[in-house]
Structure 1
Amino acid sequence: MAATDLVLRFVYPSNPNADFRTVNIYQVIEGSDNTIEMYKFHHPNTGLTTGVTSFQRKNAETHLWENAGQVEWSSHTSGAVYFGVERVSIRELRKLKKTSSKSRRFKVNNSEYKWKIAENGTDLICVSDNLTNRGKTIALWTQETLILRVAERAEGFLDRIVVTCFLNLWFKRVNAW
């Protein structure tokens, strides 16, 4: 990963009763103590298997929160994600290549990417799975610091990276990787 990466810190509520699907995400300005609000995920129905997690993105120019989408949960492990008006099943954002696969794939336009669990068993790595860029890391989740580093070349589909990371963290948490 490079110095030009986008560095995002996940901040979970201090309330022990808050649902893990509620999280604020801040951009960390490297070399500074400053952070910039970027995303808010809110799941109001703590403990329920169903419900809606809304996510908003802060507009960098207007400094206003904009609805970016939502996750409609039909159970703890299934449902649909709306990126604006585009509907994508959670299954499509966490596809298996084969039943024994340890990675979870998703597509953006006609390019495929996959999240896999790092060797330490806690971190996540997202790599390109296209012929020309196969294996190149585009995002890295570090569990110890709750930091998601996103390569500059992936900023064009940042919502997909953030949401698929969010989903994979949830699935790991409920032991449904």
Structure 2
Amino acid sequence: MTRILIVMLVFVGCTPQPIYRAVKADGQKTSVKASETHMPTASVSDSSATGAKKEPANIEEAMMAEIKTWIGTPYRFGMEKKSEGTDCSGFVGAVFRKVRQIELPRQAADMYAKGTPITRNELRFGDLVFFQNTYKGAVGASHVGIYVGNNQIAHASTTVGVTISSLDESYYEKHYLGCRRISQ
């Protein structure tokens, strides 16, 4: 048993320490031993070290994480696929279905008829914000977004696709219709 321990110590003691090579801002090459670095070490439970996805602490984190996966998805009327495009109600419906397991109507006007009406001052993360007359011939609720805090909504814009916009923008102030809170 002692011999095994001694052999193991010899091998461990003979293991070379890594040397990191870098280029300084002035172009000079340099080397640094691992023992001279101050890199944080990751534990096995650290999700970034294991590659595992960290579970969101709450529904807001889960919803925001899902919204971020849609950012940049192009606008396509009548669609709701990240790979092909989506319109505003398709985006909102897909996020609610995945994160909250709530099936919303497919059209913004029908979504507006759901949930509890709330004022703009009562907005909380995940509430729906509706706009009217956003395209020629539109009557009533014709655009919808998800409130994400800081007076901003995540929505599918006809010009830039899924994005986050400020409710303070004149376009959204001009077309604002109302808000709804969707409950299970």
> Structure 2 length as normaliser, TM-score?
0.25
When the two structures are superposed, what TM-score results if normalisation uses the length of structure 1? 0.26
Q: Which structure has the larger Rg?
A: 2
User: Normalized per residue, which structure has more strand?
Assistant: 1
